[in-house]
């Protein structure tokens, strides 16, 4: 049987950059095909060529074994190709049903029923009457996939769908993808997580520097280091298992005592939380999304008021809000960089200046030359390959914004408390590893680290202790060496024995 879709020799240039270099790629009926590779490898470019957003400079396409040309997304959809972009394309002010109606000419009185039927058939739970703006990212994604399926897609392409999801949501999405496969659809998923490749993919294609380095192979035939080597182009050694012990009898860099605080919605988001972080210690924070992790980070950084309890940084009560925290040696990688850390219209340099404990001055003005020097030094020391100082930070891609914020927070040698929320979210394998090394370097330099992550493997690999949050409370805190996924999972769901 011919593949549903096959491209041969697909090539795409952006000026000097050869984003796709003679790429062959095929999608069969009834398979999940994972497309993996580091940031910039050319994955999104290939998908956009297939979906008709861009045209290849060279190469041919076949649909069901017959030569085809896709010159626009409308043609792609007509040919049964559906794409779920990383930045979802739904209209927030409309309901799920209204969004689907935009893509699908169905009589309104029938639409609701059709959505419910499709939702059951494909195992994608969504409420047609819900306003999209009120949905979680996972629910929005399901709505978007449903929209794509209801418009008749036989091939569903998802570009990094899980990098924004909590683990439970990601698991549900992978389950839905298995359902699509069982219905005979062809599914393409881009992901950085090998665990997901193994869980769901029948075949995997690895791109590196625009070229195919592994072409539609069975992932079971390769171990993780082999796949990583294919993606990164070199061996990525495991994190050092041997680490200096956490110094005992030191006074904590962060002490949270009996803290209660409200969330943005006015509900109690932190309930009587007590936690310490010692110098030279990484305390991991696990929990289902929205269990109080964000608020815990914010109270520790002085940006969210508490209604009870105390916060001490470096042995002194935290006063003076965010400035006080910065002065006491705190640095942060925040959960939602676009809203929490990125100032519209400000450049990379300006953001770097904001993170300096003391703004370099020349007379009454900021000494930008000094800022630029400091930035260069940080970039060199950190080695995350930050881009362009004069560019507006908000205009960069998510991965590049994250690199700037990580460089700012992880590069400072004077940091005593580092609060890192999801530092490796959406980063590729090599950048994730570098970020983890930097967290360990801060620990080795005597900083205390509060690390929030949704990746239990990451928490177990990096933390000395893991605190689990459930419904605003600390459900438990366990030494990482003794933690297992099952037990952590139980604590995360509030069902500890
Ligand atoms: N519209 C564009 N203009 C210029 N360069 C681009 C454009 N889209 C992608 N690129 C470049 O092409 C390369 C591949 O990018 P992309 O396909 O987005 O990678 P991936 O999705 O694997 O991270 C990168 O070097 C990227 O900077
Ligand atoms: Mg991409």
Fold observed for domain 254-492: Rossmann fold (3.40.50)
How far apart, in Å, do the first and last CA atoms of the chain sit?
Answer: 52
Q: 276: exposed, middle or buried (C-beta count within 10 Å: 0-12, 13-18, 19+)?
A: middle
Q: Which 3 state secondary structure label does DSSP give 246?
A: coil
Q: Give the residue, by CA position, lying nearest to ligand 1 atom 24.
A: 40
Q: Give the residue, by CA position, lying nearest to ligand 1 atom 20.
A: 40
Do 312 and 254 touch, CB atoms closer than 8 A? yes
The model's confidence at residue 51, banded by pLDDT at 50, 70 and 90, is: very high
Residue with tokens 């957003």: 53
pLDDT tens readout for residues 108-126: 788 989 999 999 888 888 8
Do 152 and 80 touch, CB atoms closer than 8 A? yes
What is the arithmetic mean of pLDDT over 77-92? 86
Q: Which CATH number fits domain 5-232: 3.40.1260.10, 2.130.10.10, 3.40.50.2300, 3.40.50.300?
A: 3.40.50.300
Measured in Å, residue 44 CA sits from the centre of ligand 1 at 7
CA 328/CA 159 separation, integer angstroms: 41
Q: Are 5-232 and 254-492 the same fold in CATH?
A: yes
- What token pair was written down for 183? 């219905």
Pairing relationship of beta strands 268-277 and 316-317 according to DSSP bridges:
unpaired
pLDDT tens readout for residues 233-271: 988 888 888 888 998 889 999 999 999 999 988 999 999
Task: Give the residues surrounding ligand 1 with Cβ less than 6 Å away.
Answer: 14, 17, 19, 37, 39-45
What is the arithmetic mean of pLDDT over 407-433? 90
C-beta neighbour count of 322 within 10 angstroms: 15
Measured in Å, residue 11 CA sits from the centre of ligand 1 at 13
Q: Where are the domains of the chain?
A: 5-232, 254-492
Q: Which is the closest atom of ligand 1 to the Cα of 45?
A: 17
Q: Give the residue, by CA position, lying nearest to ligand 1 atom 5.
A: 14
User: Which of 324, 265, 258, 313 has the alpha carbon at shortest distance from 447?
Assistant: 313
Per-residue DSSP letters for 135-190?
S-HHHHHHHHHHHHHHTT-SEEEESSTTTTS-HHHHHHHHHHHHHHHHTT-EEEEE
Q: Residues, the chain, total?
A: 497
- The residue among 92 and 176 whose pLDDT is bigger is 176
Residue with tokens 């569903």: 156
CA 318/CA 316 separation, integer angstroms: 6
Q: Give the residue, by CA position, lying nearest to ligand 1 atom 17.
A: 42
Q: Give the residue, by CA position, lying nearest to ligand 1 atom 12.
A: 19
Q: Is the pTM of this model over 0.85?
A: no
Mutate to test the pocket of ligand 1, among 13, 36, 45, 233 (most ligand atoms within 8 A of CB): 45
For the ranges 10-14, 68-72, 403-407, the lowest mean pLDDT is seen at: 403-407
């Amino acid at each position: 049987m011919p593949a549903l879709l096959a491209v041969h020799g697909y090539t795409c240039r952006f000026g000097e950059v050869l984003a796709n270099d003679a790429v062959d790629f095929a999608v069969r009926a009834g398979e999940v095909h994972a497309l993996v590779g580091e940031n910039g490898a050319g994955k999104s470019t290939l998908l956009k060529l297939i979906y008709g957003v861009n045209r290849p400079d060279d190469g041919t396409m076949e649909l069901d074994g017959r030569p085809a040309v896709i010159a626009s997304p409308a043609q792609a959809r007509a040919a049964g190709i559906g794409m779920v972009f990383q930045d979802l394309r739904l209209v927030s002010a409309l309901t799920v049903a209204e969004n689907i109606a935009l893509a699908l000419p169905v009589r309104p009185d029938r639409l609701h029923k059709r959505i419910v039927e499709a939702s059951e058939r494909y195992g994608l739970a969504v409420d047609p009457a819900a306003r999209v703006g009120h949905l979680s990212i996972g629910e929005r994604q399901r709505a978007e996939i449903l929209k794509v399926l209801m418009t008749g897609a036989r091939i569903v392409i998802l570009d990094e769908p899980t990098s924004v999801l909590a683990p439970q949501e990601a698991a549900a999405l992978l389950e839905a993808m298995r359902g699509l496969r069982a219905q005979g659809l062809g599914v393409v998923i881009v992901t950085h997580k090998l665990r997901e490749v193994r869980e769901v993919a029948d075949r995997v294609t690895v791109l590196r520097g625009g070229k195919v380095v592994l072409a539609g192979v069975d992932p079971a035939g390769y171990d993780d280091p082999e796949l990583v080597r294919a993606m990164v182009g070199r061996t990525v050694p495991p994190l050092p298992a041997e680490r200096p012990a956490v110094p005992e009898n030191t006074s904590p860099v962060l002490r949270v005592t009996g803290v209660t605080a409200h969330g943005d919605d006015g509900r109690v988001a932190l309930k009587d939380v007590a936690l310490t972080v010692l110098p030279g210690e990484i305390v991991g924070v696990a929990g289902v999304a929205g269990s109080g992790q964000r608020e815990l980070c914010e109270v520790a950084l002085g940006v969210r008021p508490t209604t009870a309890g105390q916060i001490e940084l470096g042995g002194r009560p935290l006063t003076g809000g965010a400035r006080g925290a910065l002065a006491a040696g705190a640095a942060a990688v925040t959960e939602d960089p676009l809203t929490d850390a990125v100032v519209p219209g400000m450049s990379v340099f300006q953001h770097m200046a904001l993170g300096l404990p003391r703004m370099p001055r020349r007379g009454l003005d900021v000494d930008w030359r000094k800022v630029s020097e400091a930035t260069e030094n940080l970039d060199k020391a950190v080695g995350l390959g930050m881009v362009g100082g004069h560019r507006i930070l908000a205009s960069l891609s998510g991965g590049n914004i994250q690199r700037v914020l990580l460089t700012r927070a992880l590069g400072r040698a004077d940091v005593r408390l580092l609060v890192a929320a999801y530092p490796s979210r959406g980063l590729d394998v090599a950048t994730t590893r570098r970020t983890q090394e930097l967290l360990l370097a801060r620990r080795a330099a005597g900083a205390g680290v509060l690390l929030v992550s949704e990746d239990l493997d990451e928490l177990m690999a990096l933390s000395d202790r893991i605190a689990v949050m459930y419904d605003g409370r600390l459900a438990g805190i366990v030494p990482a060496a003794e933690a297992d996924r099952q037990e952590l999972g139980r604590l995360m769901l509030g069902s500890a024995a």
